[in-house]
A and B are shown apart, each in its own frame.
Chain A
Amino acid sequence: MTTQQEIRVLTVDDSPTIQIMLRKALEEAGYNVIQGCDGVEGLEKLQEAAPPPAVIITDINMPRLDGFGLIEAVRKQEAYKHIPILVLTTESDPEKKQRARQAGATGWIVKPFSAEALVAAIRRVTA
């Protein structure tokens, strides 16, 4: 089994509460967590991260650049376009889901999330 220590996860969410929960859940599962508070900062953190994260988890509703914008931007960059991106949101609107699919999201997790479901979702796209 590969150790997860070196697996980086970038989480992008404007809610400090969610960010702390994500950090806690992921760090307990042995991931290395990087965080950004909106799409713009998410992209910045992505560029700064070396090695790049194995997976990105993003919210949809965020100031400056929302989740759709973030996904589209990531998919346009050669170096990052294959990184799995999981959407983490309270939204369940099929239209939003379709938009996320078209933007290039790899999966959709509904808030509130359980640490197990989250880790399982990440494992599914990174294992």
Chain B
Amino acid sequence: MAGDFSAIEGASLCLLPERLDTAAAPALKALLEQSKAQAEGGVLQLDATQVTYVGGLCLQILLASQCSFVGVSEAVREAYGLFGVNAYLTAPCAVLEKKA
């Protein structure tokens, strides 16, 4: 299992809240968008060490953000395994770029 996470030099860091359940999805989206905006095009990394729960809706937001982790909790590791997205723990996910 790929378990090495490393901080990228000069990257901005975003600490994820503990519970990423259905109710937390809108806030997570807002948080990530804002953090990305603050990074001003730079690399944004996620600190998922405090996370205790990841639900389906938050999972897709995390995947869509295409951010890498600087660290994950056991709960996140378990969740990614359960959701069948282990691979994206270490490698960002590809997304559909729609032309608006």
Residues 49-85 of chain A, each 1 if its beta carbon lies under 8 Å from chain B, else 0:
0000000000000000000000000000000011000
A2 at the interface (CB under 8 A from B): yes
Q: How many A-B residue pairs have CB under 8 A?
A: 6
Q: In the complex the two chains form, is B52's CB within 8 Å of A82's CB?
A: no
Please report the C-alpha to C-alpha distance between residue A81 and residue B26 in the assembled complex, in whole angstroms. Answer: 14
Interface size on A, residues (CB 8 A): 3
Q: Main SS of the interface on chain A?
A: loop
For B21, list chain A residues within 8 Å (CB): 82
Q: In the complex the two chains form, is B23's CB within 8 Å of A2's CB?
A: no
Please report the C-alpha to C-alpha distance between residue A2 and residue B22 in the assembled complex, in whole angstroms. Answer: 19
For A82, list chain B residues within 8 Å (CB): 21-23
Please report the C-alpha to C-alpha distance between residue A75 and residue B83 in the assembled complex, in whole angstroms. Answer: 26
Please report the C-alpha to C-alpha distance between residue A2 and residue B21 in the assembled complex, in whole angstroms. Answer: 16
- Chain B residue nearest to A2 in the complex (CB): B52
Write the nearest CB–CB distance from A8 to chain B, whole angstroms: 14
Residues 7-42 of chain B, each 1 if its beta carbon lies under 8 Å from chain A, else 0:
000000000000001110000000000000000000
Write the nearest CB–CB distance from B52 to chain A, whole angstroms: 6
For A81, list chain B residues within 8 Å (CB): 23
For B52, list chain A residues within 8 Å (CB): 2
Write the nearest CB–CB distance from B25 to chain A, whole angstroms: 9
- Chain A residue nearest to B23 in the complex (CB): A82
For B23, list chain A residues within 8 Å (CB): 81-82
Write the nearest CB–CB distance from A30 to chain B, whole angstroms: 16
Please report the C-alpha to C-alpha distance between residue A81 and residue B52 in the assembled complex, in whole angstroms. Answer: 20
Closest 6 A/B residue pairs (Cβ): A82-B23, A82-B22, A2-B52, A82-B21, A2-B75, A81-B23
